[in-house]
Amino acid sequence: MATSPTTVVDQLLAGLHLPDGFDAVAGVIREFLDQVTNSAIWTRYGQQSLEWLIGMNPVDRLFMLSALTLLLMLLLGRLRSAGVLAVLLYGAQFAALLSTDTLFGAPLAAAVRITVADQSLHWSYDALSWFFAMITIGTGFVTAWYAAGSWMRRYREAGRSARAFHVALALNCFGMLLLVGSADLLSLFLGWELVSWASFLLMALVGGPAAQAALKYLAYAISGAMLILGAIALIYGISGSFEYDAVVAAIRSMTDAQVWTLLLLLGGGFAVKLGLLPFHLWQAAAYAEAPGAGSVFLGAISARMGLFGIIVFIVGMIGVSRLMTLEIPYTFMSSRELIAWIAALTIIVPTYTALQQHDARYLLAWHGIGQGGYMLLGLMVGDAVGSAGGLLHCFNYAITQAALLMAVFAVVHRTGTADLNQLGGLVTRMPLTFLVLLFGIISLAGLPPMAGFVSKWMVYRSLITEGMPLLFVAAVVGTLGTILSVYKLIHNIFLGQLRVEHQEVAEAPLSMLIPMLGLSALIFLAGFIPGPALSWVAQVQGQLGLPVVPWVLGGIVDPRGGLDMIWLVGILMAGFGVGALVFYGFGGRSRRVHQLDNYAGGHFLTADVHYQYSDNFYAGLMHLIGPWYRGSFRWLERSLAATLDLVSFGAEGLYRLAQPTLLMLAAAVAMLAWVL
């Protein structure tokens, strides 16, 4: 029998092993599908396209669906139902990704190839591509859902184009899927540029300060792309080919000086996207000012494309062991320690910048930059547990940051502000959003029982067992700063005094709550049972040639100190049970009082008294470390921009004032001097 929707659904249902009660449900679905398949339109078009879709190369199918999403959003993005359509299409992309079976199965090349000037661009999916594509599509899915209902209505009412938003999101996903599937230098560069411009589109959508920040990003992104182009030229000059196999061979034959150059070019280019120090200044504003749902997508996954590049080239092709042999002259450091220290500084400096923010969106965006440091740090340690921790943190961080940003933008949706000094006490009005933010901050700060703890624990552990005390202290100092900062976040929004103007605020709309709660559940599950995510990471490690982490369902097994989250979370829940028993089981009944029924040193509180501690939350600490914030990086950026300005001004003046012929002559002389 030919393939029909009925047989596909039958196969799916048989695979699920549902209990008998579901037969009735399956019957209804089957009946509906029979009616569809008997219709004239189906026999004319549907049957054929379904067979074509099923018979297709799985990677092509993924690309096709992603391109279809883009196309449909371009055509139908104006419609009210476009949001729901987008959610379905991202869901279909996710299913298509799963059907490629490239995580546990063999790598799979796409049948699509483009040949330009005798060079062919091609794509292939393997475990690493699968891992990053899974995070990308998953983020796209929850973002689209978050944006589909009430959020998009408000967005339209503000006079903004829904189509532009949908297209930007779809283009971002499409670009990332192409990038992570790239199988040669040219397709990599194509994907890289697509991703860069797509994120610019998403950032610049709403104009104003967002467009300013997006332009700044663009300046950084173009310089980064130039560096990568330079690296590609360097590799091509040695290997004579853009194919990865030839590239690996070429890198092996390179001298140390050449590898250093390559490292600086590639590292610099990818570091811009990842927001590594000192290229981090563009990121917070660009991500925070983007429209809510767009900010969620950018914050959760966009910057990780830089990390993907670093993994492919620096971890995969050059290799951590080669990095260790590259000594920096006149120091005791190798290039691996240099990168690890850049990662550690990227953890500390942006995290403590986040501590000073008054805007919840900026606070989270700065943390996003800092968390990238943990991923790179784990990868640079390079042992089984450390590199797995770094990779796992990509996933854990993505779900955490998406949930956090969604909660913050839900508050913005209801109250109209993200200013941490203008909020407070919202837990009584938006309890579920509070819960989502709570799960998120526990995970971001890396405390049990949430997902973030597992990946950060792995990074710490590898730093201890590999004997890197200062990096370990740096990583923990970053975590402590995160705890301080996220407590301020949840305190200033949800705890303390509820303001008069927020007395009537309602809980976030359901369309936004469902993805938020789903992500929160995932954050908890990925902390409770880290095994599945660890199994993905282990596949990626195996493919990259890294030592593979000894994982089990509950965590890591190791005689030198393992981790079993199932036990830890279980005992924590039991402990909470005992705590509840002690608190609720014994003693008098507690009585709820009004928030103004409070100790105020003998005064009586009234509704017009603002009785809340929010501004300069860590005043004591800032007395000490406040003067350390000198804005050195901003100064560096400004001086660079000023230098460029001066050079262009000089060039312009020369061109305008002096004879153009003189300029040509000067240029020719300079050229000759350089050539000879």
Partner 1 sequence: MDWLSAVSLDGLAAVDFRWLGLVLELILMPLIAFVVGLGLVLMLRKIAARLQRRVGPPLLQPLWDIIKLHAKETQTSHGLIHEIGIVMAIGGYVAAVTLLPVPGMNGLAAQGGLIALLYMTMIPSLGLALGVGQCANPNGSIGISRALTAMLAYDVPMVIVIFGVAFHFGSLNLVYLIAAQQAGGIATWGIVQMPLLALAGLFALQGMLGKQPFEIYVAPAEIATGPMVEMGGKFLGGLFVMQCFQLYTAGVLYVALFLGGGENWLTFLFKVFVVTAIPMTIAMVFPRYRTEDMVRLFWKWPTMIGLLGIAFVMN
Query: Given the rule CB under 8 A, which of 142-150, 294-302, 328-336, 455-463 is the region that contacts partner 1?
Result: 455-463
C-beta of 298 vs 463, nearer to partner 1: 463
User: In the chain, how long is the greatest CA-to-CA distance?
Assistant: 95
C-beta of 453 vs 536, nearer to partner 1: 453
Q: Which of 249, 580, 641, 658 binds partner 1 (CB under 8 A)?
A: 580
The minimum distance between CB 560 and partner 1, in angstroms, equals 5
Please give the residues from 179 up to 218 whose contact with partner 1 meets the rule CB under 8 A. Answer: none
Please give the residues from 277 up to 336 whose contact with partner 1 meets the rule CB under 8 A. Answer: none
Please give the residues from 625 up to 664 whose contact with partner 1 meets the rule CB under 8 A. Answer: 625
> Do residues 526 and 533 lie in contact, with contact meaning Cβ atoms separated by under 8 Å?
yes
C-beta of 22 vs 576, nearer to partner 1: 576
Please give the residues from 456 up to 485 whose contact with partner 1 meets the rule CB under 8 A. Answer: 457, 460-461, 464-465, 467, 469, 472-473, 476-477, 480-481, 483-484
Cα separation, 514 vs 520, in Å, equals 10
> Do residues 407 and 516 lie in contact, with contact meaning Cβ atoms separated by under 8 Å?
yes
Q: Output the six-digit token pair for 79.
A: 């419609």
Q: Please list the residues that pair with 113 across neighbouring strands.
A: 122
Contact call for residue 19 and partner 1 (CB under 8 A): no
Q: Which of 143, 302, 497, 543 binds partner 1 (CB under 8 A)?
A: 497
- Count of chain residues binding partner 1 (CB under 8 A): 82
The minimum distance between CB 533 and partner 1, in angstroms, equals 18
Please give the residues from 519 up to 558 whose contact with partner 1 meets the rule CB under 8 A. Answer: 554
Cα separation, 301 vs 396, in Å, equals 11
Please give the residues from 382 up to 441 whose contact with partner 1 meets the rule CB under 8 A. Answer: 424-425, 427-428, 434, 438
The minimum distance between CB 596 and partner 1, in angstroms, equals 8
Cα separation, 145 vs 139, in Å, equals 10
Q: Please list the residues that pair with 359 across neighbouring strands.
A: 419
The minimum distance between CB 494 and partner 1, in angstroms, equals 8
Q: Which of 296, 312, 490, 546 binds partner 1 (CB under 8 A)?
A: 490
Cα separation, 4 vs 10, in Å, equals 10
Residues 6+ apart with CB under 8 A from 95: none
C-beta of 291 vs 370, nearer to partner 1: 370
Please give the backbone phi and psi of residue 207, each rounded to the nearest 5 degrees, phi first: 70, -170
> Do residues 279 and 227 lie in contact, with contact meaning Cβ atoms separated by under 8 Å?
no
First-to-last alpha carbon distance for the chain, in angstroms, is: 74
Could you count the other beta carbons within 10 Å of the beta carbon of residue 533? 24
The minimum distance between CB 433 and partner 1, in angstroms, equals 13
Cα separation, 210 vs 415, in Å, equals 20
Q: How many CA atoms lie within 13 A of 577 on its CB side?
A: 6
C-beta of 19 vs 627, nearer to partner 1: 627
DSSP 39: S
Please give the residues from 583 up to 602 whose contact with partner 1 meets the rule CB under 8 A. Answer: 583-584, 586-593, 595, 597-601
Please give the residues from 599 up to 618 whose contact with partner 1 meets the rule CB under 8 A. Answer: 599-601, 611-614, 617-618
